[in-house]
Amino acid sequence: MDIKAILTPAQYVLSKCGPKTKMQLAKILYFADKEHISIYGRQFTDDVYCAMPKGPVPSKLNDCLNAVSGNNCLREFLNYRDEINKHVKCTGIWVSHQGAPDLDYLSKSAIKCLDAAISLNAHKSADELSEQSHDSAWEAARKKSTKNNNPIDVIEMAKAANASQGTIKYIEETLP
């Protein structure tokens, strides 16, 4: 598992806008990834967004943060605590970055979408971001089941971001 690939987008956001709650960070990343999908036909994160009651949550990042904050997480992430702590600090609901993000892990297109999401959302409260993230992709995943681990479909994310039909077709053809 490449922990650095999971954490670098979060570390980038936090380096640009300072400490954020886990919910604020999750939503900013979701908006950036959704925009990236709509333009480029692929995610830039190595994560799966789950439809939680308060909106999308990147599951691998969430497990990383839980591993260092003492919350429940998958056992495999506990083995990476030291590495996770090199990149982010998580105390309770607050997350901050540790050191500079390794920009080799982010494409120019990812940085462009992250910067746009930061510009539009960094000043918003967790509740505002939560409400804003309850889009059609989140709703489609929640309708499948009320379980909190329902993955949000990438094609649904593209549709929620008003991706072109060509982009949606490209995603459909390239998904595993």
| pLDDT tens-digit map of 78-119 | 777 788 888 888 888 898 988 899 999 999 999 999 999 999
DSSP secondary structure letters along 116-149 = HHHHHHTTS-HHHHHHHH--HHHHHHHHH-S-TT
Q: Which pLDDT score is estimated for 46?
A: 83
Compute, in degrees rounded to 10, the torsion defined by CA atoms 38, 39, 41, 47: -70
d(CA 21, CA 128): 13
| pLDDT: which is higher, 77 or 45 | 45
Burial of 154 (0-12, 13-18, 19+ CB in 10 A): buried
pLDDT per residue over 109-124, tens digit each?
999 999 999 999 999 9
Q: Are 144 and 150 in contact (CB under 8 A)?
A: yes
Model confidence at 74: pLDDT above 70? no
Select from 43, 15, 46, 9 the least CA-distant residue to 28.
9
Render pLDDT for 8-21 as a digit per residue (tens, 0 to 9).
999 999 999 999 99
Q: Could you give the angle at the alpha carbon of 39 between the alpha carbons of 114 and 100, nearest 5°?
A: 20
Hey, what are 21's tokens? 């709650």
pTM flag (> 0.85): yes
Question: Mean per-residue pLDDT for 71-84?
Answer: 72
Query: What pLDDT score was predicted for residue 78?
Result: 73
